[in-house]
Structure 1
Amino acid sequence: MAEDTNSENALSKLNRLERAAILLMSLGEQDAAEILKHMGPKEVQRVGTAMATLTNINQTQVEGVVSEFLEAVSGQTGMGLGSDAYIRNMLTQALGTDKAGALIDRILLGGNTTGLDSLKWMESRQVADLIRHEHPQIQAIVVSYLDADQSAEILSNFDEKVRLDIIMRVAALEAVQPAALHELNDILERQFSGKAGTQTTSMGGVKVAANIVNFVDSTMASDLLEQIKEVDEDLGTQIQDLMFVFDDLVDVDDRGIQALLREVSTDLLVVALKGADPTVQEKIFKNMSKRAAELLRDDLEAKGPVKLSEVEGSQKEILTIARRLADAGEIVLGGGGEAMV
């Protein structure tokens, strides 16, 4: 019994990403490489970083991670290895719900990497250079298709006028004809290889534009919003209303905050709260147990100076989790019972 308790205590010190890294390292190079082949660029980067930064991992923790994984899949047999349920359970257990979601969809839908998907593996500056001389509508389609944080980085590599034009087109974009999307994929695949996708015709819109602006540097986002309003005040207001920043968490109900906290690691939360408004900090504290809140306060006080870019990065990572929970209907972002995602 004492041995089980020690194992649980050792395991509790590891977040899901660290557990995934330990599990992959336990599998050996060849098997781990086979798993990584099925991951997207962000998953590979995050798990790879976790592997590189793991220190002081003891045998008890390794055994705990492997045991936890085996227990999660123990109800499956060799005949069930191809089932959707097995794949979902295995990847969710290994990577966590947030990180496994996109990977699960890609595997279960049988989707191949399209020309557009290939861009996700590139540096944002490279993507910006690739589309710099394309028609603005092509630029808008690419920016709409990629994840909001990557699209925000891509936009930062353009001058103000181009940035404004692209985000306006993203907001106005509702659907892309399949033939046009296939043609764009074909163009990109001639450079990156791969197979064309067969669907994905609905993209863009005011919500997508708002999500992208959310990830743009705060000063740049403010300037961009002002420029949009100069061209179309109603559109600028719609985008601003749909944006959701970290300080807006104060308007999320207690139940929503508690659901969010279950998905966020303490280390991430400490950095994010370093630059947060005191009202947001108090909102977080009051939705934790008294002991957990005291420990978090102590961690905040003990935490040394943190770069603003690190604070903003941590806050945006938490907001990404919040938007995922909101899209799943688990929490409501914004006051008045209206989702603002």
Structure 2
Amino acid sequence: MSLMAPIGEPPEMKKFSGLQRAAALMLALGQDHGAPIWEQLTNDEIKELSSTIAQLGRVPAVVVEHLLVQFSGEVASMATLHGSFETTERLLEGILPLERVKEIMEDIRGPSGRTMWDKLSNVSETVLASYLKNEYPQTVAVILHKLKPDHAARVLSELPKDLATDVVLRMLRMDTVQKDVIYQVEQTLKSEFMSNLSRAQRRDPHEAMAEVFNALDRSTEEAMLSALEERAPESAERIRALMFTFEDLSKLLPAAIQTIVRNCNKRELALALKGTPEETKQLFMSGMTQRAAKLMRDDMAAMGPVRARDCEDAQANLVILAKSLGDRGEIMLVDPRSDESVIY
């Protein structure tokens, strides 16, 4: 697809190649008028044209008018068109299936976008090395050659010593890698590694819902779980098993409880413990000095009657604090799905 330079064209047209003129034309036509043309193009033609649109930048109105003489009445008032990755993606989304658009945009964005190599740079060196150790050394060399040096170094250190040495030797002898070889490696990574990794990392929706329920107040939580038990008892049971509650804090190691006590608001801790069994109170107070424990009991006695909702809110805040400490690696949280395993 090309637009030849006719006689009498404006001087600005000299800056635009045939492919750039075609790109400007398609950008000006938009979704409605351009759709019949896009549908006739092959994937390679779409990628080439889309890549050109994405890098087109500013197109003077005189160029647009010259390219669209038959639509001059519509475009005469335009100061400029602006081609970018965003406008390209919006244009294609109205014409092609989303999966096809996604594939094309990944290919044309290059190093600054979400290419396969960008995605690979976010995969931990341990996971990536575990996959690569079963690949041919030459394939591993091509992949590491495309990664950033610091990431490649970490992956290399995770590979078996003999394989790592072989890969280094191949990287030293490697000339410019042919484009079709890189394309084949990308397709293999996409179909075998990234798709499997995505499935493996797909989160159980029950886990996400358990976190939502953890954030609810006790009465709302119980009402919703009871309603869910009537319609989907298996899901309700699984959510209950995944929820981390104030009662689960009693399963923590003494050192973890001491860390929570040290980091929490003491007034809130007293409120949270107000309506708990004596063994729970003792569990938390064992992480304090005798004087601090006595002051805590005095505070609880001085409170008098308190609303159950206030106690529940204080307990929920302690759970949130415990999870935050666990996320930072300061304590170990017992996994409510297992009596033996722990998560950090």
- TM-score bracket, shorter-length normalisation: 0.3 to 0.5
Q: Which has the higher contact order (CA 8 A, sep 6+)?
A: 1
Query: What TM-score comes out, normalization by structure 2 length?
Result: 0.37
